[in-house]
Amino acid sequence: MSCFPYCAVGRVIKGFGRGSKELGIPTANYPEDVVERLPQEIQGGVYYGWANVDNGTVFKMVMSIGNNPYYKNEKRSMETHIIHKFEEDFYGSTLKTVMLGFIRPMKNFSSLDELVTEIHADIAHAKEKLELPENLAHKDNKFFDESDKKLSF
């Protein structure tokens, strides 16, 4: 897709509360206005890239974009799993992401276990892809250094 790298920024909002509690895979969710600004080329699916919170350390991430068929969500969402263990929630913080590539399309699952297994496979795939030199270079993307004052929320 020609829209990569795609940079997004916004305040972390409360999602459905399933990532941490039900799946054991916490996510940081963007508000609707960030989701609505996505380019048309970015369809529902799972993507990989880099992320940081409040201009901190840049970590690997996977992002689910779409309606999550397993949960039959009505609204499209952008749910980012940062591949790092945070000690506490960071609702209201500034999340910056640089999406670099596509892993798979959005799909339904027959069980919660199947969904969790697939998410862990997505995470492993993202880790591998982000070690490639062309993707590793984006860890230092200047977008992560930009002041929040220039950004709209």
Q: What is the arrangement of strands in the sheet containing 6-11, beginning at the earlier edge strand?
A: 6-11, 94-105, 45-53, 59-66, 77-82, 28-29
Euclidean distance between the first and the last CA atom of the chain, given in angstroms as a whole number: 26
**Catalytic residue chosen out of the listed positions 41, 79, 87, 131:** 79
Indicate if 79 belongs to the active site. yes
CA distances from 134 to 41, 104, 105, 121, 125 (A): 21, 20, 23, 21, 15
Cβ 90 vs Cβ 118: under 8 Å: no
Catalytic site positions: 79
